[in-house]
Every structure is written in structure tokens, then in C-alpha cells.
Structure 1
């Protein structure tokens, strides 16, 4: 499951939630009880434990939480994982370059930023290691046209992040390393039939194909925002939470889990609906 929890924090500066709101978020989570939750916009393990049972899951926060140069005063948006205790898992080095991608790529007009790391874990399954990466990319460049034009600063940043992730993917494919990449991409990824690829990543190369797991998932997420004591509703019909994988995985099912109208009107949940993945794993792929 990938779920952006919209400023989940004990400090409640950005989004204020009641005890009943937390209870409903926990109920949504426990309805599905995923083996792995890739979360975004969580300020601390303590705030996540109000939703995820501490006795059933182990929590892995992004290493950004320990890097004073890459965090803000007050509330932060961290990525990370909650993993069921029965799974054998360990922390994998985060993709820290996503924080200041222009700087990481050596661009002449680079600029220091404090963006989210790509948090990573290694899950051992049937004596094979699977790397799972969870990203929360730069917001503000939502359409393929904007990304291609590359005029907005947010689009330039997202393009830099995209380049870094493409490099990471290529290295995993060279190593024949099974991997899953999920999270909030903050972009309406489109499929290009001309070359069997997305506008975001190259799908096929010499190293092997990249699977777009959310290709056939339609967005259908009703959300609520309270500003100046006024309530606003918005229905998101295009997906920005996505998943990709190496060729070692086949899709059993992938779906977005929309909130009901009653849930949204009654509770302060999130401006993202969770996306849940059910995948099968084939360790050996013939060349």
C-alpha cells in the first residue's frame, strides 16, 4: 500500500485532526492490513503509530529525519515504511540525491533544496532480496505538457528527480536486482503508445523492461480541505500516486481505495486515497 497521509503530525500545525479522525484513518488501514505500507507526509513514528498497530508492524523512517541540513523547523514531511513483523526486512540506503537534485546532477545553475528522500528497504522473500523504494517527488508540475516544456522551476526540479530515478532504475536492471518503486509522484503520468513507454520513465532498454503497475488505475478520490473555517471538497480523477517494478513482478490486482462521501464529510482524512498493490514475485527471469 502507498498512502500520502497529508501532514500527519502530533504538532497539528498544517492539518488539525481529532481523536475520531485518527480512529477512522486507523480503520481504513486495518480494513486492508497491508504487508507493507509506504507512507508519505508523516512527521514522526509516534504520529504514525496512532494509525498503524505498534505490536504488528515495524516502522522505518527516512534517514532524512536525522539530517539537520535537510529538514525544516517545525513539522516535516517524511517518507518511510511500516512492515508487518513476520517479514524479514532491513533498512536500505535512501536515495538522498532527490533532496537537491540539481546539485546532485552538477547543474551549473544548481540550487540547494530540502526535498523528500526516496526511502528504501530490503525485503527478503524466499531467500531473495527485493529493494522497495518510496518517493514523494516535487509538487507543482502535474501534466506531461508542463514537464516537457520545463519552464516552471517545479518542472525543472521534477525533471532532475526523474533523471536521478531513471539512473537508479538502470543500475538495478544492470544488477538484475528485483525492485519496486512506489509513492507520490505528483504527476499525471501518461502512456506513449509510439514507443511503449511513459512520459516519465523509459519503459524498455537493453537492461530489461520497466513495469508501470498503475497503468490501468483510474483516479477517483474525494477529499476535503478546511481553510478559514470554510469547507471545500475536491474530486481528484487523475492519479498522481504510482507504482513501478522490475520485470520480476506480476500484477494480481492494483486499485485506488476511495473514501466514502460520509467518511470525507465527517472526518479529516487525507487529500490522497491509498493505492494498494497485490503482486506475485518470480525470482528468476530468463534473458
Structure 2
């Protein structure tokens, strides 16, 4: 796979929007010892939050789907209310998903895709739901789903009997149903987030999602330069008309200046992944 460069977008037309997904790695203000947190969790310092905010400014995206954020208040530390509006899932886990949207764009909220939490109601822990919204610019609209799927089955067959793979396979069915509904409706749509899966066009997971119509996997054939290089688990995929909106060669990864893994706890173990879309 080719390693992706980290150049910024240049020459964007007036109706081009930059869309990004960014896992912010346990961004929470809960105190140490909170039963919902891992016992060895590194808490962000104020300096770390300021660093993240600087990278958010450098990212300069119009739509940012984020994961692992505990509250809108914390999200606003990175995406200030004078520029962005923030929408977050309504579930009660620490690692919630959300969306920061440029103020000039409209937001229509749909019910969360709560079915992604495939655990029973009495389970000691729960999975993240999906955030489902429609974004508009006055002339065109885009249905967006933000996801953060089960970890632990990055490359294994979906028939693997390990619990993580069995859980991911159940989430695949839910996601496939959501995509099939959008394909039937004929609306432009986008699914992005942390899939915890090294998706490729030949991966059975991705091929299942394409059952009802073709999708564009924007990360296909690339490797990420984040923290020294890795395969993508953060993805942006496009369906219906949105596939034609993708600016060629616009996939970018914003890496951190300090590429020493020791810096990761105050930043994130994920880098923002972005594409440009030409709205019609």
C-alpha cells in the first residue's frame, strides 16, 4: 500500500467542504478512580488540551466527526462555538461520538443508531451508538453517520469465533441495514469514524456493506503516516451521489509535529483523516 502524504488542501472552490474523522482517545474530565474509566488512564493536562485545540485549528475542517469524547463542553475546547456547532450521541458511555459542524451549515438530527450497541440491556458495559444527522448548505444535503465500532477484530475473518469478532459481525448487520436504507432512498450519504477494522475493497466486511450498491472507500490502497505509519482503521466512505463529490487525491492525514509515541497521551493515538467534497 502507498503511504499517504500529509499535505493540506489547496485551491478549494467556494462550495468545497472538508470532512474529517478524528478519534480523540478518551477525552474526559472525569476524575481518576471513576468506575467508568480504565485504572491506568492518562488524563489530559490543560497544556494537552491546548495542543489538541491548535491541531483542530490547523485541521480547519468544515465537518469533523469525532470519537471518544465525554461531553460537548470538552468538544468545545477544541471546536469553539464561534465557529462550530456540536452535536453528540445521547448514550451514556464515556467514549461518545459527535460532530462539529461549521456554523454556516444546517443540521437535521435523526435518532441515534442505538442498535449498534448489540450488548444486552443488563451488560456491565455498553458499546457506542451511531450519530445520524443530515448536513445542508442551502443547495445540497448530505446524510452522515458517525460510528465507533468494536475493537479486537482488525483483520480476522468475520466468522472468527472470538467474542470481539462475533460482536463486530453483529454490528456489521446493523450498519449494513442503515446503508441499505440510504441506498433505497437515493440520498447522498457518508459513513465515517473509527471502524477498528483494516478495511479494504476486498475485505468481507466492506463487501457486505456494498451489497445494495457501490461505496467509495476513500482510504483504499493507502497507509496512514500517523505515529510512524500504520494501516487505516479510521475511514470515510461515500454512497450514492456523494461518491461523485469526492475531490480526486484529496485524502489527507494531519500528523502531529512530535512523532514520538511518548507524546501520544497528551495528543491522541489517532490522527485526523480528511477528504474534500465538491457540493453540487
- Superposition pairs of residues 92-171 of structure 1, within 5 angstroms: 92-100=110-118, 114-143=126-155, 146-171=156-181
- Superposition pairs of residues 158-197 of structure 1, within 5 angstroms: 158-192=168-202
The unaligned stretches of length 5 or more in structure 2 are 1-19, 33-40
Q: Quick one: distance in 2 between partners of 1:43 and 1:265?
A: 23
Quote the residue 1:3 is aligned against: 22
Quote the residue 1:240 is aligned against: 233
Would you tell me which structure has more strand in proportion to its own residues?
Answer: 1
Q: Is the Cα contact below 8 Å between 1:251 and 1:278 reproduced in 2?
A: yes
Distance 1:260 1:19, change over 3 A: same
- The answer on 1:251 being equivalent to 2:249 is no
Q: Deviations over 1:222-276 (max 9, x none)?
A: 1xxxxxxxxxxxx451110011111312321112222233676557100111101
Out of 44, 67, 75, the position equivalent to 1:40 is 67
Out of 253, 258, 261, the position equivalent to 1:261 is 258
- The answer on 1:210 being equivalent to 2:215 is yes
Q: Deviation of residue 29 (structure 1)?
A: 0.7
Q: Deviations over 1:30-84 (max 9, x none)?
A: 012211110100001111122111221111010214xxxxx4xxxx100011111
Q: Quick one: distance in 1 between partners of 2:210 and 2:21?
A: 25
Q: Quick one: distance in 1 between partners of 2:236 and 2:129?
A: 17
Out of 196, 199, 203, the position equivalent to 2:204 is 199
Which of structures 1 and 2 has the larger relative contact order (alpha carbons within 8 angstroms, sep 6+)? 2
The unaligned stretches of length 5 or more in structure 1 are 66-70, 105-109, 193-197, 223-234, 283-287
The two structures have a TM-score, normalised by structure 2, of 0.81
Q: Deviation of residue 158 (structure 1)?
A: 0.4
The two structures have a TM-score, normalised by structure 1, of 0.79
Q: Deviations over 1:87-116 (max 9, x none)?
A: 111212111100126x69xxxxx9786100
Aligned residue for 2:222, secondary structure, equals coil
Higher mean displacement: 130-139 or 44-53 = 44-53
Quote the residue 2:38 is aligned against: none
Aligned residue for 1:94, secondary structure, equals coil
Q: Deviations over 1:156-185 (max 9, x none)?
A: 000111111111111110110211000000
